[in-house]
Amino acid sequence: MEVKDSVAIVTGGASGLGEACVRNLVNRGAKVSILDFAEEKGQMVSSELGADVIFCMTDITDERNVQAAIDKTVESFGAIHIAVNCAGVGIPGKVLGKEGPMSMDHFNKVVQINLIGTMNVVRLAAEQMVKNQGNDDDEKGVMINTASVAAFDGQIGQAAYSASKAGIVGMTLPIAREFAEYGIRLMTIAPGIFNTPILAGLPENVKDALNKMIPFPKRLGKPDEFAGLVQHIIENPMLNGEVIRLDGALRMATK
């Protein structure tokens, strides 16, 4: 699918990996709708990038919220061809900690946002994409979800996070197979450690330690590198139903 003249929605597009995707797509001629809960930052990015970007205040776990954002995007730009799911949380917590068992509220919150929120966007965006005119391959849409290396190498304290991201990995192939008849591709990226705002406040010695964990290149990933892979997936029609680790050969230790 061509990025130029396409319409994309990007969840978590107000910062980090999502923001990098928004900027990449806009720079290549796409119109983009940012779906995010961070209203101030989302409005700021939207205003900076101009008329080709709108912001939709969105709780991805809420069906009506997501549907309203999709409707606003179609009303503004006419269609949706691309959906990039970057929204998520990484709240740590041990199953059995010093204060007792993990609360189910904690587990439910992480799974609700990361896994169920992603599925919510996928199913509602697909309903809109099937209305598109197909290209020469009869391709009508592309979806890219964000998992994590924690889906494969979860550390102590990441039970909820790993479960939520493993769910995203697990639904990649079955959804891609289901959507094939509609001309919609679905891929997942499992990033390693990236230099996002979440890590920006860490002390330099901690960042250095993180850098040394990565075999090569020995540094944190750059959000632009994630966005570059998203762009390539969009443009390469043979990429479908697969999970790509983007991690510099990182394999996480126990803790």
DSSP 3-state assignment of 191? Answer: strand
- Contact assessment for residue 73 and residue 54, using Cβ atoms and an 8 Å cutoff: yes
Other beta carbons within 10 Å of 207: 16
The token pair at 172 is: 């990649």
- Listing DSSP states for 55-121 in one string gives EEE--TT-HHHHHHHHHHHHHHHS---EEEE-------B-SEETTEEPPHHHHHHHHIIIIIHHHHH
φ and ψ at residue 245, rounded to 5 degrees: -80, 125
User: Is position 161 annotated as part of the catalytic site?
Assistant: yes
- Contact assessment for residue 70 and residue 128, using Cβ atoms and an 8 Å cutoff: yes
Catalytic residue among 55, 77, 161, 179: 161
Q: Which active-site residues does the annotation give?
A: 161
